[in-house]
């Protein structure tokens, strides 16, 4: 079965190689990198076996990147944001790379995580590339994000939403996604970094090898951070049979007669 | 899962092959059209992909329910149905808000989305068809890789769905549904024994029909259901919505840290 799997990968490679010839009569054929798959880091810990300190997979993921954040370097914040972040970090018990404290965590009060923070929780997510959009399907709270690849821009007056508005394009082997309009009610990451509605994120998705996806992120939020800063996440391809399951935030608190 | 992955890899190849042609002709992204204007996927099946919106208006008799008559309910389910509609005399009306699980932030379930004025997006991928509702950003994953319903699959809000083609009709079989939801907007209850068979047919480019059949020997005296008709909305976007988002409030912790 393993041979067959590799065979198929080679077949895809062959299509990629053939593509320029097939498209020879059309101008500037675009070779679209195959980034689709279920991306996850929690299965790595399962493979290692044994208990880990802290969250599944430990406090650091592939590339020695904090599980709950995007970088070990502290971005420079304006004073109000720095104060807010300090409050979110005061009282953490599992060390400097622990998640922000629960009482101030919007997700603990059933707020959606938001598009970017979803990379910093131990749950798999799936990327599906369609001709006109990239679909992001997160296991956490069954969130869906659409990055439009049809050349449209960010619409004027688009409402502020949990996922924001995303547009993207392919540049060489990289999918570049540009996102604005994300609600400031969320944390940027699970460490508790704040952000405003002015946040603008550029994500660059690149497959380093068959099993490895790297996302380079640029965060630009002049209301919160003194200058743009960068982060990185590395995800591993989930093994076959590792399906995205259904998860609903706060479902254990559902009760007839009680709204949130 | 192996089959599904294989399907995925092959499909990506197919998309790559198709895409230059599509660009050249500036044709819609769903592939070549048949005589009736129904686009088809590279494997020759009708392409159901697109954004769909239920035909009619919420005041129409057939909008919030699957059939004009009340469903054939077992005594216990009938009591619950009558409770959910206590004092409601207009058959086209919804069940009572104060008895409505979704009003208390419960997920809406698999089929109720067909009876509310919110669009649904279908994305037909090799090995997997996605049914993405705007309401509460629900995701139904309909596996088309040949797998069956697994033994011991837990009860979940959207159930476990598998799909097969019967000619040009996409037949979806769903089990393992949590019993707290209503199957429609009028307040029809169900049990954990609910089994749903949906038959999707794109009758022309702009029209999708879904025949829904509910089987639940614990709640219904016999299988029942009806047809819902949807219009293609090529210019629409699915917007972000989260159930009960108006009631979110910091300082009302509802969860402990799971990780």
- Residue B122, domain member (yes or no): yes
The answer to whether the CB of B129 falls within 8 A of the CB of B48 is yes
Residue A204: pLDDT band by 50, 70, 90 thresholds? very high
Whole-number pLDDT of residue A110: 92
- Residue B255 falls within a domain, yes or no? no
- Among the partner-chain residues A55, A129, A256, the one whose CB lies closest to the CB of B259 is A55
Cβ within 8 Å of A, B 130-189: 130, 132, 137-139, 141, 156-158, 180
| Inside any domain, residue B124 | yes
- Report how many domains make up chain B: 1
CB atoms within 10 A of CB A41: 23
CA distance to partner chain B, nearest, from residue A242 (Å): 8
> Which pLDDT tens digit goes with each residue over B58-73?
889 999 999 999 999 9
Are residues B148 and B169 in contact, defined by beta-carbon separation less than 8 angstroms? no
For residues A27 and B130, the model is more confident at B130
In a domain, B259, yes or no: no
Confidence of residue B5 (pLDDT cuts 50, 70, 90): very low
Averaged pLDDT for residues A240-246: 90
Question: How many A-B residue pairs are in contact by the CB < 8 A criterion?
Answer: 164
pLDDT of the residue at B29? 44
What is the model's pLDDT at position A7? 29
Asked if the Cβ–Cβ distance from B254 to A161 is below 8 Å, we say: no
In a domain, residue B181? The reply is yes
Tokens of A209: 């090898």
Residue B175 belongs to a domain with what CATH number?
2.40.128.20
E strand or H helix at B81: helix B75-84
On whether residue B240 sits in a domain, the answer given is no
Length reported for chain B? 259
pTM score of the predicted model:
0.85
**What chain A residue is nearest to B5 in terms of C-alpha separation?**
A240
Task: Strands of A193-238 (E only): list them.
Answer: 200-209, 212-220, 229-237
Give me the domain span that covers residue B231.
39-235
Tokens for A83? 């104060």
pLDDT band at B257; cut points 50, 70, 90 = low
Instruction: State the pLDDT at residue B249.
Output: 87
pLDDT in tens, B195-213: 999 999 999 999 999 999 9
């Amino acid at each position: 079965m393993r041979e067959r799997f590799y065979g198929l990968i080679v077949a895809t490679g062959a299509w990629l190689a053939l593509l320029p010839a097939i498209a020879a009569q059309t101008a500037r054929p675009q070779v679209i990198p195959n980034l689709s798959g279920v991306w996850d880091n929690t299965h790595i810990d399962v493979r290692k076996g044994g208990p880990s300190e802290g969250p599944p997979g430990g406090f650091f993921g592939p590339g020695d990147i904090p599980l709950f954040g995007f970088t070990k370097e502290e971005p420079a914040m304006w004073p109000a944001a720095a104060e807010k972040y300090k409050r979110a970090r005061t009282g953490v018990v599992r060390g400097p790379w622990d998640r922000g404290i629960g009482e101030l965590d919007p997700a603990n009060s059933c707020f959606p995580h938001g598009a970017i923070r979803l990379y910093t929780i131990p749950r798999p997510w799936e990327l599906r590339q369609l001709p006109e959009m990239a679909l992001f399907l997160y296991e956490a709270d069954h969130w869906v994000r659409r990055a439009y690849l049809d050349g449209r821009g960010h619409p004027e007056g688009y409402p502020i939403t949990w996922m924001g508005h995303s547009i993207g394009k392919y540049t060489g082997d990289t999918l570049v996604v540009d996102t604005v309009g994300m609600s400031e009610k969320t944390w940027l990451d699970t460490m508790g970094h704040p952000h405003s509605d002015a946040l603008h994120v550029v994500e660059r998705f690149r497959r380093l090898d068959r099993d490895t996806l790297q996302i380079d992120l640029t965060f630009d939020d002049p209301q919160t951070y003194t200058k743009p800063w960068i982060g990185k996440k590395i995800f591993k391809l989930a093994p076959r049979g590792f399906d995205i399951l259904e998860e609903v935030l706060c479902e254990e608190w559902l009760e007839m007669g009680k709204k949130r | 899962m192996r089959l599904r992955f294989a399907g995925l890899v092959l499909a990506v190849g197919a998309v790559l092959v198709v895409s230059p042609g599509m660009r050249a002709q500036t044709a819609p992204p769903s592939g070549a059209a048949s005589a009736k204007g129904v686009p088809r996927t590279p494997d020759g099946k009708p392409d159901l992909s697109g954004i769909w919106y239920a035909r009619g208006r919420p005041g129409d008799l057939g909008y919030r329910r699957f059939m004009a008559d009340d469903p054939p309910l077992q005594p216990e389910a009938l009591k619950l149905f009558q409770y959910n509609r206590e004092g409601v005399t207009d058959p086209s009306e919804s069940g009572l808000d104060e008895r409505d699980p979704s009003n208390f932030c419960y997920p809406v379930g698999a089929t109720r989305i067909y009876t509310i004025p919110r669009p649904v997006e279908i994305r037909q991928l090799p090995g997997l068809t996605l049914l993405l509702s705007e309401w509460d950003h629900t995701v139904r994953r309909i596996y088309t890789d040949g797998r069956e319903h697994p033994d011991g699959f837990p009860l979940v809000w959207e159930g476990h769905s598998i799909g097969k083609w019967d000619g040009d009709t996409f037949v979806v079989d769903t089990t393992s549904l949590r019993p707290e939801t209503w199957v429609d907007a009028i307040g029809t209850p169900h049990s954990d024994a609910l089994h749903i068979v949906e038959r999707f047919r794109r009758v022309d480019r702009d029209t999708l029909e879904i025949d829904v059949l509910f089987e639940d020997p614990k709640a219904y005296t016999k299988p029942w259901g009806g047809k819902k008709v949807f219009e293609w909305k090529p210019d629409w976007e699915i917007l972000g919505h989260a159930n009960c988002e108006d009631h979110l409030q910091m300082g009302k912790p509802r969860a402990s840290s799971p990780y």
